Amino acid sequence: MYAPAESFVYTEIAVVTRTPGRVLACAAIGLLVAATVLAQRPRAGRLPGGFRVNANVSYDGRFTFVRLNYATLPGGYWYGGQPAWSHGYPLAERNLMRILHEVSAVSNRVDEVQTLALDDPGLMKYPIAYIIEVGWWEMTDAEAAALRAYLRKGGFVVVDDFKIAGGIGGGGWERFEANMRRVLPDGRFVDLDPSHPIFHSFFEIDSFDIIPQAYNAGRPVFRGLFEDNDPAARMQMIVNYNTDISQFWEWSSTGFRPIDDTNQAYKLGVNYLMYALTH
């Protein structure tokens, strides 16, 4: 275990009894429909191209969803200049926060979500961070050092919407692995199976066959990074590879994807948060 020089300020939580069969559709249908336009880097307000980043809120002890932003490599901009890190922001995380609020006793913000750079000192107040489309991530030395410190001090990172090389997926696993070698040169990712506790931290997920694919071909792959490379120790990072779980969160109020598939994606998201908050 690491001895942090600076501790996280963790949110107090009370976990309700696990409810594997609970249907999430009722909450999903009523979720917020109005999406806010996006921005490339994390200053609040409208930027060139018309995208907007919402102002961050002050820390108050409640669990708050934090999306990491980063400099996007050429080719990683779509939809009028939207950078890869912002896909689904802020609707996807707001919808997940509404589900978390409905099914658990976690004291969490619902509508107020954060977007921070890895080297922002404020990140150390938040135990969980989310990053998307890492095939387009142009990691800086400052970000590599900050991520190393964050993981060693107890932080947990969810990596999502990350595809094989080619097409619209960026550099694939190789680019991400090269970035992570700068963070933890000796770190090793382990392929996970459904027996790992993260898939049973709240909802019971006994098979990856139930995990839906929004538009990716093939099977989703789940990989974990563990303290001291020990799979029996605390997981520091989970990677949703060759899949896009958050797209189901983003679209859950539109009817564009089946409710059953959306429910499975929400179960994964809730499990990740519960695991991180209790480990």
> What pLDDT shows up at residue 134?
95
Chain-centroid distance, C-alpha 52: 20
The top-scoring range by mean pLDDT among 5-9, 35-39, 63-67 is: 63-67
For residues 63 and 69, the answer to whether their CB atoms sit within 8 Å is no
Mean pLDDT over 230-245 rounds to: 96
> What pLDDT shows up at residue 43?
54
> What pLDDT shows up at residue 82?
85
Q: Which of the pair, 22 or 31, is modelled with greater confidence?
A: 22
> What pLDDT shows up at residue 64?
98
pTM for this structure?
A: 0.84
- In a 13 Å sphere around the CA of 110, the CA atoms on its Cβ side amount to 12
pLDDT tens sequence across 59-108: 999 999 999 999 999 888 887 788 999 999 999 999 999 999 999 999 99
Q: Pick the closest to residue 177 from 237, 245, 89 (CA basis).
A: 237
Whether pLDDT at 44 is above 80: no
Query: Is the domain 26-278 a CATH 1.20.950.20 member?
Result: no
The residues, any chain, with a CB within 8 Å of residue 75's CB and separated by 6 or more, are: 136, 170
The token pair that represents 130 in the structure block:
């989310």
Q: Which residues pair with 52 in a beta bridge?
A: 46
> What pLDDT shows up at residue 142?
97
Q: How many helices (H) and strands (E) does the chain have?
A: 6, 11
